[in-house]
Structure 1
Amino acid sequence: MRALLAGGLVLGVGATMTIAAWTDQELATSTVSAGSFSIVSRSDQGAFASHGPTETVLTVPLDATGLYPGVKKAAYVQVQASGTLGGTVNLTAVAVTNNAGTAPTGADLALQNAIRVNIAVVAAPANCTTTATATAALTAVPALPAQTLTVTPLNTITYCIVLELPSDATGTAQGGTVKPTWTFTGSTS
């Protein structure tokens, strides 16, 4: 009986060893990388560049020095996608300071309160003229729809900014200086 049990034990160990010797594997891999999204802008026909919070702010060529009542000025800002992903862009904020970079007071504040603005999306820079009626306050953010940005084919969004010092502007605005900074925010999802 002991011999029979010992023989069964040897057979059992041999059977499990045979099954464990047969193996096979399949391997799969892939490269995973994130796309990139950013926006760039320009205000003339020069090269597009980044003008974000850590770069030099884009200067809008409004030629709006020496304003007097009844004068309108217009200039455009163009925005494109930069990177590998498309998204949207919209005008999301405007901040106004004086030349010292602080909140306007005195004549500066009077000028800020007197200036009227109209900001709209136009088809091309040639469509950015002073014919638009400027009725909003300088600090107002217009309710514009988000504009779609694609990278292939690359599209350009043109924002037209029209400033006006109305003919009924108060004399307390004389000599005032303000510096509006418009924020265009791009996003992708």
Structure 2
Amino acid sequence: MEVGSSIPVAALRATRRENRARARHLRSRRIRAVLAGGLVLGVGFTMTLAAWTDQELASSTVQAGTFSVSSRTVQTDPFASHGAGNPATLQLNATGLYPGVSRAAWIQVQTSGSLGGTVTLTNVSASAPGAADQALMNALTAVVVQVAQPSACTPTTTSATMQPSPLTTVPTGTQLPPAALQGGGANTVTYCVVLTLPSTATTAAQGGTVAPTWTFTGTTG
């Protein structure tokens, strides 16, 4: 130790070691800070990439079509809806019937909505409350035929696939296939109903009254 020095050599060396340690610690902290900054920059970079996007959009209007059918039984009448409680009147002129006589009437059906489909006879019902009414209903036969036009519907109109059957019998699809209907009323399907009181009808049917209803169902889809 030099003469007059107040700091021992050992203390100086300790101080230097401590200074070097502090310097290393400071460098370490700086390195960690730089690394942390790099990580933050990396995250920021990733987020920046995610923000670099572009999109193409497409939209459309979806609207369902409409399907309904209407009918008429008189050529001068407009087509109209005839549902439950408001059936069209089939012009059979079937009063005063006697054994062996037939009556015929037609009904035309078309669409009144935008969609096309098919139409077919799906049900025949009849009201016959009294005994004579029931006897008349049991005796009556009917044939339903698709014809080209109303003038083709006469009491002698027949069907190659269907013979006269009991009044409330519904023809099969083979006997009376579903008829095609075009949307918007573009075509018309004409059905001819031929009603007959056979010569074999019993006298119990005299004075009887029957109110039959034919149901033609339109279907689409």
TM-score by length of 1: 0.90
Question: Does residue 138 in structure 1 map to residue 167 in structure 2?
Answer: yes
Distance 1:84 1:13 in 2: 63
Distance 2:130 2:29 in 1: 108
Overall identity of the aligned pairs, in %: 55
Q: Which runs of 4+ in 1 moved over 4 A?
A: none
Match of 2:186 among 136, 154, 160: 154
Tell me, what secondary structure is at the counterpart of 2:68?
Answer: strand
Q: CA RMSD in A?
A: 1.6
Match of 1:22 among 52, 55, 80: 52
Residue matched to 2:152: 127
Q: How many residues align?
A: 183
With 14-23 and 26-35 compared, the bigger mean Cα shift is at: 14-23
Matches within 5 A, 1:178-189: 178-189=210-221
Distance 2:169 2:50 in 1: 76
Tell me, what secondary structure is at the counterpart of 1:5?
Answer: helix
Higher RCO (C-alpha under 8 Å, 6+ residues apart): 1
Deviation at 1:145, TM superposition (A): 0.5
User: Residue type matched to 2:55 in 1?
Assistant: Q
**Structure 1, unpaired ranges of 5+:** 99-103
Tell me, what secondary structure is at the counterpart of 1:161?
Answer: strand
Distance 2:119 2:50 in 1: 61
1:52 to 1:153, Cα distance in 2 relative to 1, 3 A: closer
Distance 1:64 1:127 in 2: 19
Distance 1:19 1:8 in 2: 21
Deviation at 1:77, TM superposition (A): 0.7
**Structure 2, unpaired ranges of 5+:** 1-27
Tell me, what secondary structure is at the counterpart of 1:141?
Answer: coil
Instruction: State the Cα deviation string for residues 44-79 of structure 1 (Å, max 9, x = none).
Output: 1111111122x5111101011111122211100111
Q: Which has the larger radius of gyration?
A: 2
Deviation at 1:153, TM superposition (A): 7.2
Matches within 5 A, 1:31-180: 31-45=61-75, 46-53=77-84, 56-98=86-128, 104-133=129-158, 135-143=164-172, 144-151=176-183, 154-180=186-212
TM-score by length of 2: 0.78
Tell me, what secondary structure is at the counterpart of 1:72?
Answer: strand
User: Which is helix-richer, 1 or 2?
Assistant: 2
Tell me, what secondary structure is at the counterpart of 2:112?
Answer: strand
Distance 2:185 2:83 in 1: 24
